[in-house]
Amino acid sequence: MTTTEPDSSRIASWRLLARNPVTLVSAVVLVVVAVVAVTADWIAPYGINDVNVPNALAAPSGSHWFGTDELGRDVLSRVLVAVQASMRIAVISVALAAVVGVAVGVVAGYRGGWLDTVLMRVVDVMFAFPVLLLALAVVAILGPGVTTTILAIGIVYTPIFARVARASTLGVRTEPYVSASRALGTGDLYILRRHILPNIAGPLIVQTSLSLAFAILSEAALSFLGLGIQPPEPSLGRMIFDSQGFVTMAWWMAVFPGAAIFLIVLAFNLFGDGLRDVLDPKQRTTVEARRRER
């Protein structure tokens, strides 16, 4: 009975997720983005720094689907490689934030007391700064570059994971099965690994999806300001910055990188909302009730 109930609940969750067309479309978009991120170097039709000045500012055509920039470089090739770079930075930085933030939040929520107070006050101080301002401060201190961008975004989003993990841990640590395990003399590490982490995974998965969207935006903002990915490697934010002087004569230089950012961020947000409907019991109950009414 105990083995079939989790399986049936998991199947029901996946069915609920599959019935949402918006979530399905966003998932398909994210799969395409993931494929592009892995294969961009092979599917790009031209080199990202192949200069062809006589063909500069060429409109989209059969040979250049997204047109060319002020140096005659293929915009499609640069967008594909820029998406790859943005996804790499977003995934690594969010993974860093998740590991550190979850560790801090779980320890604070599970242990409580003065340790919880100290850790959460540090988190509150970090929350006092606007996200982009804190990232700019980190980059300004360490210098621009890919590694610094990853570190800056990771530091910025660590407090978010810490708060989510702590709130979820506070709700789980008082459950009867945790109290029973503690009464039996089970070690804290086993309780955390066996009982706490599996039961707080849902909110963390949702937060990861949402944080990936904001990490893409943060990377684009830093690159737009010249503090993120450095030339000659293309980045979506830098491409938009470079297009400012050519918007009236070459709209494609800004539209296609901007559209890439828009689609990726929107897909992550919509997919995160779909996951919340499935992984949050309260949301799932509400969604199921609405579907029954229809």
pLDDT at 264: 96
The alpha-helical segments, DSSP class H, found in the chain are 4-18, 21-43, 75-111, 113-127, 131-142, 146-172, 176-183, 188-191, 197-199, 201-224, 236-242, 252-279, 281-293
- Asked whether residue 143 carries a pLDDT value surpassing 60, the answer given is yes
% of the chain residues with pLDDT over 70: 89
Most trustworthy range by pLDDT among 11-15, 79-83, 126-130, 136-140: 79-83
Which range is least confidently modeled, 6-10, 78-82, 242-246? 6-10
pLDDT at 75: 96
Entry pTM:
0.87
pLDDT at 96: 96
- Asked whether residue 160 carries a pLDDT value surpassing 80, the answer given is yes
pLDDT at 70: 92
Cis status, amide bond into 232, omega within 30 of 0: yes
pLDDT at 100: 96
pLDDT at 2: 43
The tens digit of pLDDT for each residue in 54-68 reads: 999 999 999 999 999
The tens digit of pLDDT for each residue in 169-213 reads: 998 888 888 878 878 877 878 888 888 888 898 889 999 999 999
- Asked whether residue 7 carries a pLDDT value surpassing 90, the answer given is no
Domains recognised in the chain with CATH numbers: 14-293 (1.10.3720.10)
Check: CB of residue 253 under 8 Å from CB of residue 236.
no
| Closest residue by Cα to residue 172 from 78, 218, 105, 266 | 105
- Asked whether residue 79 carries a pLDDT value surpassing 90, the answer given is yes
User: Using CA atoms, how far apart are residues 175 and 184, in angstroms rounded to an integer?
Assistant: 15
How confident is the prediction for the chain on average, in pLDDT? 87
pLDDT at 185: 77
The tens digit of pLDDT for each residue in 222-238 reads: 999 988 898 889 999 99
